[in-house]
Each structure stands twice: as C-alpha cells, then as structure tokens.
C-alpha cells in the first residue's frame, strides 16, 4: 500500500485543513475547567493575588490530539479511496463487453470482481453503462442468437444484470457481436470507452472485431491474471488404462496439473498429476488403470479449473464389456485365429474378450456372449443360458459355416431352412449392399460405406413384427441384423458369419463401429425393454463451470453424428442407459494455445484483486478511537471517579464522540436509507412474502421456499422480484405484497382483531393468500375453523381449466411436494376482476420450491427432480396469476379479437 | 490526589467515636514504650513511701514518731512519708470541622490523629497516677485507665474552637493544659484564640499547644486551575495557576504557625507541630519529656510553670 494508491473523491473538502491553525489556536487557548479541591487551609490564602493573571493553556499534547481528530474528520469528509480503479476515461458511456464463452469460466470470479469495480467507478463518475455478451443463447424454436446489448443502464442497476451473466459452455461468437454492435448506431455515438473483459486466447473474429470497435471508441481489454488455458481434448481407453489429450496454451515454464477422475456419484476415483512441458500446446497422458476402475469413471476433470472445457464425460460407450466367445472345447488355437480374427480385431480395443466353452463363460458372468453357428455345449447349459439372458445378458449370434443350421432356440426371429446365396458362382444375383440403418436401430446415424457386400445370408421368416426387430437390412429389404429383447436381456443375430466368407462386413471398419454401438447396450444397468431411441434427449447438461445440471426445456435432443456444443446442445450426457453418449466441449476446441494478436491502439490491463477501499470509514474509526483516548486521559487527569457525580464531564465527551461518529457513519454509509426510513422497502419493489408463524423451522422453510421461487421466477420469467419478506399481520402492513404464503402450523394463535381486520382489508383489496396445510389434508372446513374471524370466501376445488393452470405453463395439478387438489374462491368477486383471493391446499409448496444447494438442512430428499420441476412451474404460474390476474384468461379470446380487428 | 471532602463533620465525629476502642488500643500501643510506674511527688505528703525524718516538735501526732530512728540518737524523729497526690492534666483536642479533612485517603484525618495523641497521652499520665480531664460540658476527669473510653467520648464532646472559650474554661491552679488541633482559627481569629490560650495559662498553668497538620497544609501539592473549597463546600478561593501561589501560601502558613507558636510562648508553654504523615510517637515523646522536665524543674508540687522559690528538701540520711 502506498500513498499514491489513495485518491480523494471530494478533494475540495481538504481545504478545510486550512482552518486547522485557527482551530489549533482556539483549542490551545481554551482553558480547562478548574479542578475542585477541598482544602480547608486555603482560608489563609484569602486576599492573596496571583502575580500574573494569565489563563492557563490547554496542554500541547491535548491540542495535538484534538487537531489530529479534526484532521481525520476532514479527511473522512473528503472520501479517500484506496486503489481507485480508473478503467475508462470519464467521457461518455461505457460499453462493457463481457466475454462469457467457455474460456471465461475459469476466470469468472475475477471477471465478476472487475465488473464490480467497473460499476463502482461508473457510479462514482455517473456514467451510463452498456453491457454486451459474446456467447450466444437459445432463441426461437431451435436456433440461437447473441443476446441483445443491454443499455443504457445506470450503474446502480447493473448489479442484477451482472448477476445474470453466466459463462456458457460454448464458444463466443464475435462475428455476431460485430453485427449486433453495428445495429446500434445510437449506442456507438454515446459510448466513450469500451471495456472488454476477455482472456488472451485467440478465437475466430476476435482481432477483427477489435479493430472494428476501435473506430467507435478506445478499447481497454481487461484480462485475468491467470492466463493458463487448458482443455481436455479427448479421452479414450487403451488396453492398459486410458489416454487423455490435453490442449493448453504455450508456456515457457513447466506446469503441473492434476487430473481428477470422478465416479458415478461425483466421488474422486483417481488423481493423476501431469507434467506439462514448456513450449508445447498439447500433452498426451497415458494413465495405467485396472479395467473395472476405468469402467467406473464417469468424468475426468482438471483440479482447480472450473470450466466446461476441462470436464470430459464418458458416457455409456466408455465402459468396457466382458465379451465371451463360445468355442467348443475341441477347437484348437488355429481355428480361433482363423475364424475369429476379424471379430477379435473389432472387439479387443473396446472390450475384454475371452474364448472359452459356454459353461465357463456363464460362470464367469460375462456381459456379452458371442457364438458363431450352433451354440456348442448348449445341451447341458440350456437352462443356465436362458437364465443368463433373462437376467440381462446379451447374446450375439452369427451364422455358422456351411452346415448352416444354427438351431431354433435363442434367436430373435424365425429362420427359414437353408441360406440364401447370391453373387456366388452358382447364382445370377449380384451381391447385395446395406441400406441405411433404420430409426429403431441403435446403429442409426452410422455411415454405411458403399463397398460392403453380402453374398450369403440366413433368411428370416417375414413375421409381422419383423420390421421392429430388424436393425439392419439389405438393399432388397431382407434383414441382416435382427434383435429382440428377452426379459432384461437381449438377443442379436447377425445373419452372416463372423468371418469373411459370406460378406466382407467383418473385415470392414463398419463392423468396428457396429460393435461400438452394440457393446454399451449390454450394460448391466440397461433395460433392454426400453425403446431404443434415435434422437437422444439430454439427461444432464454442464454449465459454463463444468457443473452438471438438470436440462431445461431449451435443450434439444441430439442425434448422431454429435453436433459441436451450442446453446441448444450444451455439453452433457444425452440418451439413457446403453445409449448414453457424452457431448464434450473439448474435442470441438482447436488452437486454444494461440494468443490473440491485438491490433495496435488497444490498451490492456490486468484485473487486480485490490478492490477499492473506502478509507473514510477507517478515518472515522480512528477519530473515534482518538476521541475515546482523549476522554480517557481526561478521566485520569481530573481524578474523576465514575461513581461520583463529577463523571458528567467525561461522560459528555464519550457520548459526544459516540453520537458524532454514529451520525457521520450513517450519513456516509447509508445516504438512501435515511430517506427511505419512513417507507417500507416492500413499497419500492414488488416481492413475495410469507406469514411468520413464530415456529422457527417452518419460517426458515417458508423463507427458503419463497426465495427459491423468486430465483426461479427471475430465471424463467420477466418477474424480477426482490428478496422475500416475512410478514406478521399483527404489526406489518400487508398491502405491498402481491402474494402471501401462509403455512399452517399446529397450535397457531388466533389473530387479534387488528390483524384480522388487516387481513380482511388485504383480501378485499385484491391481495392473494396461499394457505398451505402442508400435510396433504385439504379440508376447507378445517380451514374455516382455523381462520375464525377472517372473511374467507366460499371455497371450491379449482377447475382443471382455471387460469392458474395456464398463466405461464400448462399444468394439470397444483404441484408441490404432493399433488393434491387446490381449493380457491368459488365465486370470486367481480370487483376483483374475478381473481381468487384465497387459495388453499396441502401440498407443502415451500419445501418443493427450495432450490437444493449442496447439503442443506432444509433440503427434503423425498422430492423427485421431476416433482420439484413441476412445483417450480406451479409456483411460476401462481405468481403470474397473482401479478397479472385474469389477463392470461383474456388471452384465449385473442384469435377472436384479432379476427374482428382484421375485419 | 484524591480529596476526601468532609461535608458532615458531625457524622465524621460519630464515625470517629465508633472507632474509639480501636483508637484507644492504638494509643496504648503508642504509649506503652513511654510508660513508667507510679511516681512519687518528691515531697512530704500522704503516701506509703518513706520520704524523710524530721525532728519531733510538739504538736506532732505521736503515732508518727519513728521509734527505731529515735532510739539511735538523742532526738526524737518523726517519720514522714512522701506526698503521693496526683496532678491534674487537662487535655483538649480541638476537633474543629476542618480537622476531619485529610488530603489523601492514605492519611488519617487530623481529628483522628489528634484523638490518638490525646488518648495516648492521657493513658500515659493516668498510668503515672495523674488525673486527666477534658473540657467537655461536665469537665470529665478520670484517674483510671479503664475509663479512657469515657474520656475519649468526652474529648469528642469538647468545644470545637478555641476562640471565644476564654470565659468558659477554667482549669484549676497549676493544672496542666494540653491543647491539640490544627489551630486554623489562628489564621483569621488569632487575637481571640491567643487570648483564650493566655487565660488558660494565667494561674501558673503549664501546658502545650500541639499543632497537628496535614502534609498538604505545609506544602500544597496542587497545580494549575484549582477551585479550593472548605469542608462545608463553600468556595474559598480560585487559583488560575496554583504554582504561582505556592510561595505566598508557604509564607502565610509560616506566619500562621508563628501565631500559634507565639500564643504558646506567651504562656511559656511547649509548642510542637505534628504532621499526620509521620508517626505519632515522636510527638508523644516530646510532650511527655516536656512534662517530665517540668516535673523535675518544679519539684514536688511542681507541675505548672516553674516558680523560682522552690522548697526542696534533700533527704537526710
């Protein structure tokens, strides 16, 4: 800390220091009050005159002390500020470009600090602010676009806007930003300086937009102090463990990072330290791991880097299955290498392949059984095999050799006798090719190469359900791969041999891809009766920080081939069970190591953690302490005993100091608060409220629930409500609140007349109360007993077409923790526009509205995510209903109105 | 420095009275080193001790003839015993309101010290067989050490100023008068006070004035702006800068003490000064020695001021 870091907001106040010498003289000449001493012998002094009658001066230390106090007060009035950040010239508005692409997440905390500092400065200098983001967001039905530039806003309003900025797990779109900015000529005229919070990473269009922006106003880029960028480009399994490829920026220092592999519940399975060599932008890491540990890995992240790019999720295909190939005990090794050569090549990189007789394999509990031709050794193991399939095993069968008969059991379809031969020397027909894979097939989306030919196949009987069982068919429509679930298990039949004499499929790359799709389906957790889907809905999505979330309605399902992450398809896990695929950000990133080359004329500065410190409070505190010190010295010097009446002097001094400091502090800290002291906060901004029951856990629950609902509303709707209030009708004015949540508790005191009168007035004037019995029991009679004295209207079950259920979302129940029916005004007053004033139910809404965050004591475990989501929706509907009344009900007439207008 | 204001000297006196047994105890301890036995008057009188033989003259009671002595010679001798009569002492502690003040909590008030010295002296004298009294309304006199407490109460009830008491108090002829106090009234009423003292010494009375002072009264320790109050909370004096007054005070204090001393001198009495910060013993010793000297000088009946014609007969042997 140096003195130069201190600046004064009101330096003119320092002129007050000029008065210091005068004050010095005043203090110095002010006599102290005389000491009183009892001294009987003083009577001999009567008539004695002192030689000089000069008044005693205040002692020098006291003068200095008091002048110091005054100096401190003057300095405090001048508002000294330490580490003042001058981001932009005080000239016109500020355009803040907040980079919120994926690379911003790792430095988001610093960005937030910088945003705060910028807002502070703008507040000091009364500049308006425009805020632009660089990451696109979902818009329209299936598309996305860059959010509009917000502004001009006053710096005081920026806090909410800043709170809404989030790093996104997809790249920035600078070209779109350039278009956006050029669409706002009036902004470009107003803007005096541009502050760009961005990292040094190069992205397409970044340098270009920078040079374009320079034409508008001078740019200052504000970059984080941490310049490390790192992403997991790919992650794959090797025979001995796994391989990771890291992309990162070049650095001349060796670095160490830690890879964290996490399991299903987010528990850390593995922590691997990686040395990153200097001057490279890519590192390959091989980690030796046992197979079952690798299988358990759900995601790999980088310790200390919170970014979607540093999280690589694995999906179902990651887990290696144990594949058993059934051989008869008589087969020699030659047969194995001969017949199963291609199969082995296709399987072994992704699975653990063993060759053994059926009995051994069943005992080993393999995930997948592969058999070519008749299953050897079936006779004695028939029951065991059936049980294994029923319990979730996956049996993959191939045609055998020329003997061609592979038996009647354990087949997905009925086979015709004999096989079909085409393209051979005995046939006129040409070899057949493959058609594209149908929708119901797990192979859907896999590119079929042209050069796959089939010369012989097993023919299936054209049963009625043959279409749904077929996963692949030839150009003439005959099935090539068929499958059927059997209880928890599944049977798959390739209508060709696993070696290359019937078709060249086994030697093709397609064979490998087919196995890659097939193996994950054999997951032990897989429900084979579940529909195989070609478009995979999102299961969990990552936010910009790489933290998993439940997907919302904006997320679209993915289809293979996987898209690059974008606002409609953020990184995450899509599809269920064996079909779960991971969409990762890392593979789509390229060149993250390259630094951007800024055009000349751009000034850069780093974000500093040293936030502005207002020293005024410090000065006031010091002055206060000195005043206390002064008083203490006076106490000691004057021998004033506090027990005696002579304390008044010292006490006056103490009190004066306290009052002075208090007044000064309040006037400095809360200029607005003093003005608004007479008005309740709630009158200035709408907010939800809950009735304070006096039962602390219930009140805490209510507050948390309503806070959660407020947050949900802020995220999903235009209703930006302020923090929740707890109200007590005995003391508080209710009329400011659009909706009051009232949980019933046992033994609640009946309201006083005053409170009843207040509640009645509230209801009569259009207030709305949601009464929650919290125990599923909804008996209006019981309510009436509890609410004696209140003018509760006649209640009736809410009809399913009530506006409440369509004011924002379309719902069919008043979802809370339970889904019991809701009761409300049977005949709402027309004076209130037909809007119900009392709603009564027992669904324990507050506990459903809590946004679960970590280990919260309020978190109730028995609410499923879906139930919670529905409760949120009901909450949004409810508040919309409370805020807009019957407006949404009128909207049903819009077509008719439009029609009339058109006429 | 903490001043203990004495607003209510009556209450202070009462507190002192309550402390009396303790003070008596303290006085006894002070006196014990100085104590000696019953002393003779070195003069013929009633008593049990032999004093002298005297030739018989007619008219002498015959039962006084010491036959054994008479048998040794031709004359008849009368055995005379020493006159063993007590002398009268009046001890008057002047407990004016100002004496209840002490400049510091650590010091005893002047009144307390005055009373201690008075009682200690009384104790000493009584043990020597003297009669000690004080000038309360009843003129209490005691001869026995058991009655010291009664004397103490009487002392507390004795007049609280010297001036104007000249006509009320009459010690007997040749009785000794000991006056103890701070004698502040000499500062403004020196004439009347001196007159009283002179009257108390008019019948060959021996005596002493013991001025008991607080150290602050000798060298006041105050500084700066000070308002000086009397014990009755009346402001006496305001000093802007007390340091300037210290010299003037000392001069006036000397003059004041000189007035007291002169009052003692005019009667040829002892003047002694005691400061409460010091031990009481030296003062007590000085007083006792003074009384003993006077006794020696004045001979058998010789308390009171020494007279020039003494009838001192040596023992014949």
> Are residues A689 and A815 located together in one domain of the fold?
yes
> Are residues A506 and A496 located together in one domain of the fold?
yes
- The answer to whether B183 touches B214, Cβ cutoff 8 Å, is no
> Are residues A365 and A309 located together in one domain of the fold?
no
Using CA atoms, how far apart are residues A862 and A850, in angstroms rounded to an integer?
13
Average pLDDT, chain A: 80
> Are residues A144 and A156 located together in one domain of the fold?
yes
φ, ψ at B202 (rounded to 5°)? -80, -25
**Residue A45 falls inside a structural domain:** no
**Residue A379 falls inside a structural domain:** yes
**Count of residues in chain B:** 317
- The answer to whether A605 touches A621, Cβ cutoff 8 Å, is no
The count of other CB atoms within 10 Å of the CB of residue A515 is 20
Using CA atoms, how far apart are residues A502 and A431, in angstroms rounded to an integer?
10
Do the chains contact at A38 and B188, CB–CB below 8 Å? Answer: no
Contact list, A31 vs chain B (CB under 8 Å): 225
Q: Which residues of A touch B (CB under 8 A)?
A: 31-46, 48, 50-56, 639, 641
- The answer to whether A352 touches A319, Cβ cutoff 8 Å, is no
**Residue A896 falls inside a structural domain:** no
| A275-289, A387-401, A630-644, A802-816: segment of lowest average pLDDT | A630-644
Chain A nearest CA to B200, separation (Å): 26
Using CA atoms, how far apart are residues B296 and B317, in angstroms rounded to an integer?
22
SS3 (DSSP) at A317: helix
Strands (E), A744-855: 769-772, 795-797, 823-825, 838-841
Residue range A647-685, pLDDT digits in tens: 455 566 666 666 666 666 655 554 444 444 445 677 778
**Residue A234 falls inside a structural domain:** yes
A32, A39, A44 member nearest B256 (Cβ): A44
Do the chains contact at A34 and B231, CB–CB below 8 Å? Answer: no
Query: For residues A665 and A276, which has the higher predicted lDDT (pLDDT)?
Result: A276
Domain boundary among A471, A491, A521: A521
- The answer to whether A370 touches A376, Cβ cutoff 8 Å, is no
Residue A558, beta-bridge partner list: A536
Do the chains contact at B228 and A39, CB–CB below 8 Å? Answer: yes
> Are residues A708 and A844 located together in one domain of the fold?
yes
Using CA atoms, how far apart are residues A726 and A690, in angstroms rounded to an integer?
5
pLDDT at A621: 92
* Rounded mean pLDDT, A399-412: 73
| A128-137, A332-341, A683-692: segment of lowest average pLDDT | A332-341
Q: Residue A773's domain is classified under what CATH number? A: 3.40.50.12140
Q: Which of A384, A381, A379, A413 is nearest to A399 (CA)?
A: A413
Q: Which residues of B touch A (CB under 8 A)?
A: 1-6, 97-98, 101, 103, 182, 184, 187-188, 214, 216-217, 220, 222, 224-231, 236-241, 244-245, 248-249, 252-253, 256
Contact list, A36 vs chain B (CB under 8 Å): 226-227, 229
Do the chains contact at A38 and B216, CB–CB below 8 Å? Answer: no
Chain A nearest CA to B82, separation (Å): 49
Least CA distance to A53: which residue of chain B? B240
Residue range A70-127, pLDDT digits in tens: 888 888 888 787 766 667 666 788 888 988 888 888 888 888 888 888 887 788 778 8
SS3 (DSSP) at A385: helix
Chain B nearest CA to A63, separation (Å): 17
> Are residues A517 and A559 located together in one domain of the fold?
no
Chain A nearest CA to B257, separation (Å): 11
pLDDT at B121: 86
Chain A nearest CA to B221, separation (Å): 11
Contacts of B273 (CB under 8 A, 6+ apart): B210, B211, B212, B213, B257
pLDDT at A875: 92
Least CA distance to A35: which residue of chain B? B226
> Are residues A164 and A19 located together in one domain of the fold?
no
Chain B nearest CA to A34, separation (Å): 5
Contact list, B241 vs chain A (CB under 8 Å): 50, 52, 54, 56
B2, B230, B256 member nearest A40 (Cβ): B230
Contacts of B156 (CB under 8 A, 6+ apart): B13, B16, B17, B20, B95, B115
> Are residues A101 and A194 located together in one domain of the fold?
yes
Do the chains contact at B237 and A35, CB–CB below 8 Å? Answer: no
Q: What is the DSSP string of B109-127?
A: PHHHHHHHHHHHHHHHHHH
- The answer to whether A141 touches A171, Cβ cutoff 8 Å, is no
Contact list, B239 vs chain A (CB under 8 Å): 45, 50
Chain B nearest CA to A639, separation (Å): 7
| A44-48, A198-202, B173-177, B190-194: segment of lowest average pLDDT | A44-48
Least CA distance to A44: which residue of chain B? B187
Q: Which of A578, A564, A489 is nearest to A536 (CA)?
A: A578
Do the chains contact at B4 and A42, CB–CB below 8 Å? Answer: no
> Are residues A211 and A249 located together in one domain of the fold?
no
Do the chains contact at A43 and B236, CB–CB below 8 Å? Answer: yes
Chain B nearest CA to A654, separation (Å): 23
pLDDT at A622: 92
**Residue A134 falls inside a structural domain:** yes
A210 Ramachandran zone, left/alpha/beta (phi>0; psi -120 to 50):
alpha
Using CA atoms, how far apart are residues B84 and B54, in angstroms rounded to an integer?
18
> Are residues A114 and A216 located together in one domain of the fold?
yes
Q: How many domains does chain A have?
A: 5
Hey, of A30, A40, A62, which one would you mutate to test binding to chain B, going by the most B CBs within 10 A of its CB?
A40
Hey, of B214, B234, B244, B250, which one would you mutate to test binding to chain A, going by the most A CBs within 10 A of its CB?
B244
- The answer to whether A756 touches A769, Cβ cutoff 8 Å, is no
pLDDT at A667: 53
Question: Is residue A380 over pLDDT 90?
Answer: no
Do the chains contact at A36 and B227, CB–CB below 8 Å? Answer: yes
* Percentage of chain A exceeding pLDDT 70: 85
Using CA atoms, how far apart are residues A741 and A769, in angstroms rounded to an integer?
6
Do the chains contact at B244 and A51, CB–CB below 8 Å? Answer: yes
Contact list, B249 vs chain A (CB under 8 Å): 44-45, 48
B2, B227, B256 member nearest A34 (Cβ): B227
* Rounded mean pLDDT, A394-421: 77
CATH domain B9-39+86-298 topology = Rossmann fold (3.40.50)
| A396-405, A700-709, A801-810, A862-871: segment of lowest average pLDDT | A396-405
Contact list, B229 vs chain A (CB under 8 Å): 36-39, 42
**Residue A50 falls inside a structural domain:** no
Q: Which of A756, A722, A737, A698 is nearest to A883 (CA)?
A: A737
pLDDT at B238: 74
> Are residues A653 and A561 located together in one domain of the fold?
no
Chain B nearest CA to A59, separation (Å): 11
The count of other CB atoms within 10 Å of the CB of residue A878 is 26
Cβ-Cβ pairs closer than 8 A, A with B, add up to 109
Against a cut of 0.90, is the pTM above it? no
Instruction: Print the domain residue range for A398.
Output: 323-521
Peptide bond into A770 cis (omega under 30): no
Using CA atoms, how far apart are residues A400 and B34, in angstroms rounded to an integer?
142
pLDDT at A38: 81
Contact list, A44 vs chain B (CB under 8 Å): 184, 187, 249, 252-253, 256
Do the chains contact at A40 and B227, CB–CB below 8 Å? Answer: no
pLDDT at B300: 40
- What does the radius of gyration of chain B's CA atoms come to, in whole angstroms? 23
Using CA atoms, how far apart are residues B40 and B37, in angstroms rounded to an integer?
10
pLDDT at A78: 83
> Structural domain boundaries of chain B?
9-39+86-298, 50-81
Where does the pLDDT of residue A55 fall: very low under 50, low under 70, confident under 90, or very high at 90 and above?
low
> Are residues A354 and A433 located together in one domain of the fold?
yes
Q: What string of pLDDT tens digits covers the 317 residues of chain B?
A: 334 444 566 677 777 777 778 878 887 777 776 654 445 456 665 556 677 788 888 888 888 888 888 888 888 888 877 666 668 888 999 888 888 888 888 888 888 889 888 888 888 888 777 888 888 878 888 888 888 888 888 888 888 888 777 677 778 778 888 899 888 888 878 888 888 888 888 887 888 889 999 988 888 888 777 788 877 777 777 777 777 778 888 888 888 888 888 888 888 888 988 998 888 888 888 888 887 776 655 444 444 454 444 344 333 33
Using CA atoms, how far apart are residues A527 and A525, in angstroms rounded to an integer?
6
B6, B217, B248 member nearest A41 (Cβ): B217
**Residue A39 falls inside a structural domain:** no
Query: For residues A177 and A832, which has the higher predicted lDDT (pLDDT)?
Result: A177
The CA–CA distances, whole Å, from A815 to A168, A537, A542, A799 equal: 31, 24, 27, 14
Do the chains contact at B225 and A53, CB–CB below 8 Å? Answer: no
Do the chains contact at A34 and B236, CB–CB below 8 Å? Answer: no
* Rounded mean pLDDT, A887-892: 75
Helix (H) or strand (E) holding B273: strand B270-275
**ipTM summary value:** 0.70
Contact list, A55 vs chain B (CB under 8 Å): 240
Contact list, B260 vs chain A (CB under 8 Å): none
Contact list, B231 vs chain A (CB under 8 Å): 38, 40
B224, B225, B228 member nearest A42 (Cβ): B228
* Rounded mean pLDDT, A385-391: 85
Do the chains contact at B222 and A46, CB–CB below 8 Å? Answer: no
* Rounded mean pLDDT, A166-184: 88
């Amino acid at each position: 800390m140096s003195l130069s870091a201190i600046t004064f907001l009101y330096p003119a106040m320092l002129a007050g220091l000029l008065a210091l010498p005068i004050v010095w003289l005043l203090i110095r000449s002010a006599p102290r009050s005389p000491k009183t001493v009892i001294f009987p012998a003083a009577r001999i002094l009567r008539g004695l005159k002192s030689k000089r009658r000069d008044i005693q001066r205040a002692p020098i230390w006291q003068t200095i002390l008091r002048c110091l106090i005054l100096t401190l007060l003057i300095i405090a009035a001048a508002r000294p500020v330490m580490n003042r950040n001058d981001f932009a010239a005080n000239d016109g508005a500020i355009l803040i470009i907040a980079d919120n692409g994926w690379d911003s997440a790792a430095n988001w905390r610093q960005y937030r600090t910088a945003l705060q500092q910028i807002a502070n400065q703008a507040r000091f200098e009364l500049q308006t602010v425009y805020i632009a983001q660089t990451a696109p967001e979902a818009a329209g039905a299936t598309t996305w676009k860059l959010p509009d530039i917000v502004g001009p806003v006053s710096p005081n309003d920026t806090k909410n806007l800043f709170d809404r900025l989030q790093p996104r797990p997809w790249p920035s779109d600078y070209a779109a930003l350039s278009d956006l900015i050029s669409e706002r000529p009036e902004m470009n005229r107003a803007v005096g300086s541009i502050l760009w919070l961005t990292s040094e990473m190069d992205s397409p269009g970044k340098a270009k937009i920078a040079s374009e922006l320079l034409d508008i106003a001078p740019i200052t880029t504000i970059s984080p102090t941490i310049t490390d960028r790192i992403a997991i480009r790919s992650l794959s399994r090797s025979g001995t463990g796994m391989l990771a490829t890291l992309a990162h920026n070049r650095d001349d220092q060796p670095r160490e990072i830690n890879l964290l592999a996490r399991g299903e519940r987010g528990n850390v399975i593995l922590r691997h330290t990686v040395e990153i060599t200097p001057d490279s932008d890519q590192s390959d890491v091989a980690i030796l791991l046992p197979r079952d540990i690798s299988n358990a890995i759900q995601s790999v992240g980088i310790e200390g880097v919170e970014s979607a790019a540093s999280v690589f999720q694995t999906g179902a295909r990651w887990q290696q299955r144990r594949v058993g190939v059934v051989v008869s005990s008589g087969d020699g090794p030659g047969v194995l290498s001969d017949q199963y050569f291609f199969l082995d090549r296709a399987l072994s990189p992704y699975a653990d392949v063993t060759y053994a007789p059926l009995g051994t394999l069943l005992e080993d509990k393999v995930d997948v059984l592969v058999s070519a031709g008749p299953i050897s050794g079936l006779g004695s193991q028939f029951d065991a095999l059936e049980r294994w399939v029923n319990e979730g095993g996956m049996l993959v069968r191939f045609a055998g050799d020329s003997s061609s008969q592979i038996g009647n059991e354990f087949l997905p379809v009925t086979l015709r006798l004999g096989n079909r031969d085409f393209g051979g020397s005995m046939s006129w027909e040409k070899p057949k090719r493959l058609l594209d894979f149908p929708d119901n097939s797990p192979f859907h989306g896999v590119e079929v190469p042209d050069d796959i030919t089939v010369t012989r196949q097993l023919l299936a009987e054209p049963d009625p359900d043959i279409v749904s069982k077929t996963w692949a068919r030839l150009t003439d429509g005959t099935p090539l791969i068929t499958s059927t679930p059997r209880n928890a298990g599944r049977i798959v039949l390739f209508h060709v041999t696993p070696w290359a004499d019937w078709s060249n499929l086994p030697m093709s790359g397609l064979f490998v891809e087919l196995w890659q799709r097939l193996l994950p389906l054999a997951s032990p957790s897989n429900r084979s009766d579940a529909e195989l889907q070609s478009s995979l809905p999102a299961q969990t999505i990552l936010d910009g920080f790489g933290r998993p979330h439940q997907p919302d309605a904006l997320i679209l399902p993915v289809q293979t081939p996987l898209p690059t992450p974008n606002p409609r398809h953020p990184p995450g896990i899509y599809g269920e069970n064996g079909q779960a695929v991971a969409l990762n950000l890392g593979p789509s990133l390229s060149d993250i190591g390259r630094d951007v080359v800024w055009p000349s004329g751009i000034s850069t500065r780093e974000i500093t953690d040293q936030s502005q410190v207002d020293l005024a409070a410090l000065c006031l505190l010091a002055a206060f302490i000195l005043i206390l010190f002064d008083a203490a010295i006076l106490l000691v010097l004057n021998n004033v005993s506090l027990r005696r009446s002579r304390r008044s002097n010292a006490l006056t001094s103490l009190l004066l100091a306290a009052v002075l400091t208090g007044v000064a502090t309040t006037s400095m800290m809360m200029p607005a608060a003093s003005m608004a002291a007479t008005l309740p906060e709630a009158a200035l901004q709408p907010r939800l409220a809950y009735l304070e029951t006096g039962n602390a856990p219930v009140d805490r629950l209510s507050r948390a629930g309503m806070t959660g609902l407020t947050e949900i509303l802020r995220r999903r709707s235009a209703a930006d409500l302020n923090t929740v209030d707890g109200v007590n009708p005995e003391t508080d004015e209710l009329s400011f609140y659009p909706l009051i949540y009232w949980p019933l508790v046992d033994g609640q005191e009946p309201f006083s007349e005053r409170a009843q009168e207040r509640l009645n007035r509230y209801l009569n004037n259009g207030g709305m109360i949601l009464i929650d019995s919290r125990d599923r029991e909804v008996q209006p009679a019981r309510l009436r007993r509890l609410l004696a004295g209140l003018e509760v209207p006649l209640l009736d079950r809410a009809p399913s077409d009530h506006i409440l259920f369509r004011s924002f979302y379309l719902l069919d129940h008043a979802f809370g923790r339970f889904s019991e029916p809701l009761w409300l005004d049977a005949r709402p007053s027309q004076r209130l526009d037909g809007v119900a004033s009392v709603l009564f139910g027992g669904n324990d809404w507050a506990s459903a509205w809590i946004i679960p965050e970590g280990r919260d004591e309020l978190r109730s475990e028995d609410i499923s995510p879906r139930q919670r989501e529905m409760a949120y929706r009901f909450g949004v509907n409810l508040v919309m209903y409370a805020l807009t009344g019957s407006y949404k009900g009128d909207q049903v007439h819009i077509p008719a109105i439009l029609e009339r207008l058109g006429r | 420095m903490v001043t203990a204001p004495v607003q209510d000297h009556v209450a202070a006196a009462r507190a002192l009275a309550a402390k009396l047994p303790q003070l008596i105890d303290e006085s006894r301890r002070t006196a014990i080193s100085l104590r000696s036995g019953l002393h003779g008057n070195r003069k013929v009188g009633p008593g049990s001790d032999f004093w002298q033989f005297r030739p018989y003259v007619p008219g002498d009671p015959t039962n006084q003839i010491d036959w054994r002595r008479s048998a040794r010679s031709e004359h008849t001798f009368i055995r005379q015993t020493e006159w063993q009569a007590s002398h009268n002492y009046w001890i008057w502690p002047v407990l004016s309101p100002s004496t209840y003040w002490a400049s510091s909590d650590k010091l005893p008030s002047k009144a307390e010290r005055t009373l201690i010295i008075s009682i200690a002296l009384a104790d000493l004298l009584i043990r020597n067989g003297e009669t000690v009294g004080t000038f309360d309304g009843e003129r209490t006199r005691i001869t026995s050490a058991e009655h010291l407490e009664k004397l103490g109460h009487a002392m507390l009830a004795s007049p609280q100023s010297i001036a104007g008491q000249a006509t009320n108090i009459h010690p007997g002829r040749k009785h000794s008068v000991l006056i103890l106090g701070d004698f502040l009234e000499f500062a403004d009423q020196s004439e009347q006070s001196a007159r009283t003292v002179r009257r108390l010494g008019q019948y060959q009375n021996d005596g002493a004035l013991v001025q008991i002072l607080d150290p602050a009264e000798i060298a006041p320790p105050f500084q700066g702006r000070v308002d000086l109050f009397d014990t009755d909370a009346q402001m006496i004096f305001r000093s802007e800068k007390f340091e300037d007054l210290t010299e003037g005070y000392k001069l006036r204090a000397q003059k004041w003490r000189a007035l007291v001393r002169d009052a003692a001198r005019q009667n040829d009495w002892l003047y002694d000064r005691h400061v409460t910060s010091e031990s009481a013993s030296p003062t007590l010793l000085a007083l006792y020695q003074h009384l003993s000297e006077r006794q020696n000088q004045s001979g058998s009946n010789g308390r009171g001021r020494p007279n020039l014609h003494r009838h001192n007969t040596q023992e014949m042997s």
